[in-house]
Copies of this chain bind each other. A is one copy, B any other.
Amino acid sequence: MVAVQQERSGREHILNTARDLFTTHGFHQTSMAELAAAAKISVGQIYRLFKGKEDIIEALIGADMKDRIGKIEELRLRLEAGRINIEQTFEHLVLLSLRDKDEALSFDILAEALRNRPVGETVSAMFQRFRHFLRDFACVANPALSGEALDGAEEVILACIFGLGHRSLSLPNLSDECTARHAAQMIVAALKGVS
Given the known interface contacts A182-B156, A182-B194, A189-B190, the answer about A169 and B127 at a Cβ–Cβ threshold of 8 Å is yes
Count of A interface residues, CB-CB < 8 Å = 60
Given the known interface contacts A114-B103, A187-B190, A193-B189, the answer about A179 and B167 at a Cβ–Cβ threshold of 8 Å is no
A44: Cβ under 8 A from any B Cβ: no
**B148 touching A174, Cβ below 8 Å:** yes
**A153 touching B186, Cβ below 8 Å:** yes
Which chain B residue has the least Cβ–Cβ distance from A160? B160
Which chain B residue has the least Cβ–Cβ distance from A105? B111
Q: Give A residues with C-beta under 8 Å from B.
A: 24-26, 28-29, 103-104, 107-108, 110-111, 113-115, 120, 123-124, 127-128, 130-131, 148-149, 151-156, 158-164, 166-174, 178-179, 181-183, 185-194
